[in-house]
Structure 1
Amino acid sequence: MSELRFDQVSVRFGTGHRAITAVDGVDLTVPSGQVVGLVGESGSGKSTLARTAVGLTAPSSGRILLDGVPIDHRARKLQMVFQDPYSSLDPRMTIGDTIAEAVPRGAGRPGVAAGRSRRAEVGRLLDLVGLDAARADAYPGALSGGQRQRVAIARALAGQPDVIIADEITSALDVSVQGTMLNLVRSLQRELHLSMLFISHNLAVVRYVSDLIAVMYLGRIVEVGPADQVLNNPQHDYTRELLAAVPRRETSYSRRTSA
């Protein structure tokens, strides 16, 4: 378990009067072993912040710290699961090869040949995300969206991370499988004691998986606190607007999916 902290992180694109500030002085902590749900409408800067955390976008200013130390992306202690399960996997690689590629060298049991050890680790990871290890030879095209997203999660876990960033991982899935995916995410987080930044525009989804909720608006964090506190006693007008926009049938989402 590790603590992920954003320290006055800003991200700007362009220069001069045409520059756009996508993330504006964000201070946010993902405590060790907890899930922080980051919620906000499209364009609020959530995904840009996520991409900055994993090194895909460079911050214009500020620092990203892992256990108080500037993050070293080469160590792969932070992994990301992307939104679209159909574009995040290479269609020319079997899912077993895709996962094995992310397994660190030397992973596995002492005294076991490297190839066998990696195959065993792939099987273990597939089982962990609820897929039959026999599917290792399948290609992404033979899988459903939900199954592909499970593979993407297994690939992220293969790197043995301390922190997972999940960016809108249910938004491209059928409603019928979203609840199952959320149950899987929460179960894995608890079993593996991961720290997690869970990003969504859907407050009904965020409330189900999160210990803490942070609300992002126009590139800034406008409210953060324990999930129950933010949901039951919101302090910012934008948070109240998000809550008011949740359809009544979704307010019982957590009760339905946990059944």
Structure 2
Amino acid sequence: MIIKGLTVRFGAFTAVDDVTLDIPQGRVVGLVGESGSGKSTVARAVSGLVPYTGVIEDGGGVQMVFQDPYASLNPRMTVGASVAEGLRRPTAHEVERLLGLVSLPPQTAARYPRELSGGQRQRVAIARALGASPRLLIADEITSALDVSVQGAVLNLVRDLRAELGLSMLFISHNLAVVRYVADDIAVMRHGRLVEYGPTDQVVEAPAHDYTRALLAAVPRMPAS
């Protein structure tokens, strides 16, 4: 996906200001910045959820996984029905395959969201997004609402899916350590503008912008990639 000159305005307020970003096929681009930086607005624009100016060349479908998995799932629908909802030809076999991709057993299909843990619900949300065979998967703060004990498992799932399916992914987080763990490239946003973009190791080891250095300084310990 190629994003050129993306701008989003809400009245007189400019939430995203002339952002240009390349998300190569099969790579994970991490979009990082503090709250209010505009990163989630970029996600919503790319997903077609808010009006924008600029050019988005997506080359196919875009699916988004939101921060709160419980809010994004219909509590009156079983997991199987939720996953099947996005399929062109919904079958029990295809639902089972998608649940397997996110390491959930087939019997999960008969359960309701309230019967699952937060990590399991997020896996269901990912499975449902994958059912639409997206060219780009947007993950917007998908671990921030989860217990620390399950965040790592979901991050490992993201890495596994990229390797297995060759997905392109825009992974959004305020946590630079989390982004570093899953992303091939990192884009840093501040006040609606992109201030730095490059390969993960380059951005982390030799940041070019003061704001990136401040984000790195705020992370006491970063996991090894």
Q: Which TM bucket (shorter chain)?
A: over 0.9
Aligned partners of 1:193, 1:29: CA distance in 2, in Å?
16
Count of residue correspondences = 225
Give, in angstroms, the shift of residue 104 of structure 1: 1.7
Aligned partners of 1:214, 1:135: CA distance in 2, in Å?
36
Aligned partners of 1:28, 1:135: CA distance in 2, in Å?
38
Aligned partners of 2:127, 2:9: CA distance in 1, in Å?
32
Q: Which amino acid aligns with 1:95?
A: V
Find runs of 4+ consecutive structure 1 residues off by over 4 angstroms: none
Offset from partner CA, 1:70-96 (integer Å, 9 cap, x none)? xxxxx6x11110011120100000010
- The structure 1 residue matched to 2:24, chosen from 14, 17, 31, is 31
Structure 1: 5+ residue stretches without partners: 68-74, 106-116
1:152 aligns to what?
A: 125
With the length of structure 1 as denominator, give the TM-score of the two structures. Answer: 0.85
- The structure 1 residue matched to 2:80, chosen from 89, 96, 120, is 96
1:52-63 matches, cutoff 5 A: 52-59=45-52, 61-63=53-55
- SS across alignment from 1:184: helix
Structure 2: 5+ residue stretches without partners: none
With the length of structure 2 as denominator, give the TM-score of the two structures. Answer: 0.98
1:130 aligns to what?
A: 103
- The structure 2 residue matched to 1:84, chosen from 68, 92, 95, is 68
1:66 aligns to what?
A: 58
Q: Which amino acid aligns with 2:158?
A: V
- SS across alignment from 2:91: helix
Aligned partners of 1:218, 1:5: CA distance in 2, in Å?
21
2:8 aligns to what?
A: 11
Whichever of the two has the greater Rg, that structure is 1
RMSD: 1.0
Give, in angstroms, the shift of residue 241 of structure 1: 0.3
Give, in angstroms, the shift of residue 187 of structure 1: 0.2
